[in-house]
Amino acid sequence: MGAEGRWLTVIGVGPGNQEYLTPAARRAAAAAEVLIGGPRALSLFQDLECEKRVITGDLEGLRSFLLQIRGRPAAILVSGDPGFYSLLSWLKRQFPGEKINVIPGISSVQLAFARLMQGWEDATFLSCHGRSLEILEPYLPRLAAGKARLAMLTGGANTPAAIGKYLADHGLARIKLWVGTDLGSDQEQTIWLTAAELARQPLTRPGVVIAGYEPD
């Protein structure tokens, strides 16, 4: 274990490939004695000389395995943004006294910024999946003033079009938004739109809406 007592690291690996792995994810995986994930996720770290185990989706089995290796630095690779947040919440309930280190590896947000050709270090990430869009309210004045950069993960009822409508209804109809849907798949689509234009688009597929940047 490290100085902070962190024995468990969660690394998000969504769409994309090894090209988009963050340096922090590479370091965290290399420092682990046990690497846990699905076959695709594990294939991103084929060169690591550590114990590897495939997640089968059996959470009770995962819990038992984590208890067996408690005290050994371990990293869990989680594919997909909703799955990432769900597993993180589950781990915190199962191991309430543990410090769980969270590392972005590959996610749709990071892949979106790669497509946008911008760094994500100064952006605020917000998951709108299954949450009220009122979470955007504190950021509206700063977005209007051009002082905020926001990456909004869509999902459920909060489609890209719904986010565009929310922003337009709150005085940001003309703000420029970068929208990416189905990132990393054959159906990938990226487009620049104003919030008002996005509200009228039939874009309902999961994706990322990024505000606070201007198109080239």
Tens-place pLDDT, residues 36-52: 988 888 888 888 989 99
Q: How crowded is residue 179: how many other Cβ atoms within 10 Å of its Cβ?
A: 24
pLDDT at 5: 42
Assess whether the region 8-106 and the region 109-211 belong to the same CATH fold. Answer: no
Beta-ladder partners of 104: 12
Helix axes 81-94, 59-68, angle to 10 degrees: 50
Q: What kind of architecture, by CATH, is found in domain 8-106?
A: 3-Layer(aba) Sandwich (3.40)
- % of the chain exceeding 90 in pLDDT: 38
What CATH topology corresponds to 109-211? 3.30.950
| Spatial contact of 182 and 154, defined as CB atoms under 8 Å apart | no
Quick one: the chain helix, strand, coil %, rounded to 5?
35, 25, 40
Per-domain residue ranges of the chain: 8-106, 109-211
Q: What is the pTM of this model?
A: 0.63
pLDDT (tens digit, 9 = 90+) per residue, 169-197? Answer: 999 999 999 999 888 777 889 999 999 99
